[in-house]
Amino acid sequence: MAAKTPTTPAATRPGRPPGKLHFISGMPRSGSTLLSAILRQNPRFHAGMTSPLGDMVSALVAEMSGKNDFSVVISDEQRAAVLRGVFQNFYGGFTGIDVVFDTGRVWCSKMPMLAALFPNSRVIACVREMPWILDSIERLVRKHPLTANKIFHFNPNGTVYSRTEALIDVNGMVGFSFQATKDAYYGQYAPGRLMLVSYEGLTRDPRATMQAVYQFIGEPWFDHDFEHVEYNADEFDSRLGLPGLHTVKPRVSAPKRESVLPPDLFNRFVKDSFWLDPATNIRKVPIV
């Protein structure tokens, strides 16, 4: 089933922004690209890999703060208008699209901002058991032993232990997103705005998971084809030094394999899946 590709009109004739905006966030290697690949089968939807908007918005927030001496002449209303304008103009050239899903791990850390700017938006956070996230990244690294990659600052030296420590650092690829997801999950803006989609649920029962997603965002069901899902970002992945990072296999299925992590490293993170304990779900966040 081919996904409809949005077209971009000439810069002198910007289109009208799609009417609805939602966000895909959460943890890396947890199904966000797969979720986007499925969603984009719906011709009314646009979804994809991580967009540049998270970094752009963060830069603007900083420049409109006290960091800039001229921030005293910028009102909160102007700040909100500028930030909304980034989204509206970025997606304004997409024709034939009703709903946009913008992907970025930063969005879980910006729930108050999203609630203020787009009160009708929803955030779908993709999660996966921590040992298997680390396993997935390590597996990719080992698949390309002759290259260095951007995730580890193109440092060709290191071990699975040093790479894991870098990943789980508070500013690391996994550590930041893990804490941001917990922040959103326990935060006051979670009720009615946040949904957790587990990698395990999405790959084992994609139809039931997607039906729950459609219900959460209030959209009519579209009959997705889970046997022919397509998505890749080959040029982007090659620049990172990790080909295949965003490649989605055609058939949605749950992987069956043994971990490449040493047992002590794997066991260190087995209790970090906070969403698996119903007693901790104090905000009643839907989890599928």
pLDDT in tens, 265-276: 999 999 999 999
Token code pair at residue 140:
């990719």
> From CA 55, how far away is CA 175, in angstroms rounded?
18
At residue 101, φ and ψ (nearest 5 deg) are -115, 110
**Is the pLDDT assigned to residue 19 strictly greater than 70?**
yes
DSSP character string of 120-181: T--EEEEE--HHHHHHHHHHHHHH-TT---GGGTT-----HHHHHHHHHSTTSTTHHHHHHH
pLDDT band at 33 (very low <50, low <70, confident <90, very high): very high
pLDDT band at 95 (very low <50, low <70, confident <90, very high): confident
For the segment 195-200, the average pLDDT, to the nearest whole number, is: 98
Residue 203: what pLDDT? 96
Within 8 A by CB and 6+ apart from 170, the residues are: 176, 179
Residue 104: what pLDDT? 97
**Is the pLDDT assigned to residue 10 strictly greater than 50?**
no
CATH superfamily for domain 20-280:
P-loop containing nucleotide triphosphate hydrolases (3.40.50.300)
pLDDT band at 255 (very low <50, low <70, confident <90, very high): confident
DSSP character string of 9-57: --TTS--PPPSEEEEEEE-TTSSHHHHHHHHTTSTTEE--S--THHHHH
For the segment 82-103, the average pLDDT, to the nearest whole number, is: 92
pLDDT tens string 139-189:
999 988 988 888 888 899 999 999 999 999 999 999 999 999 999 999 999
Residue 18: what pLDDT? 77
Share of the chain above pLDDT 70, in %: 89
Of 155 and 17, more confident: 155
Lowest pLDDT segment from 82-96, 198-212, 257-271 = 82-96
For the segment 248-274, the average pLDDT, to the nearest whole number, is: 93
pLDDT band at 2 (very low <50, low <70, confident <90, very high): very low
Residue 271: what pLDDT? 95
Ramachandran sector of residue 118 (left: φ over 0; alpha: ψ -120 to 50; beta: rest): beta
> From CA 172, how far away is CA 164, in angstroms rounded?
10
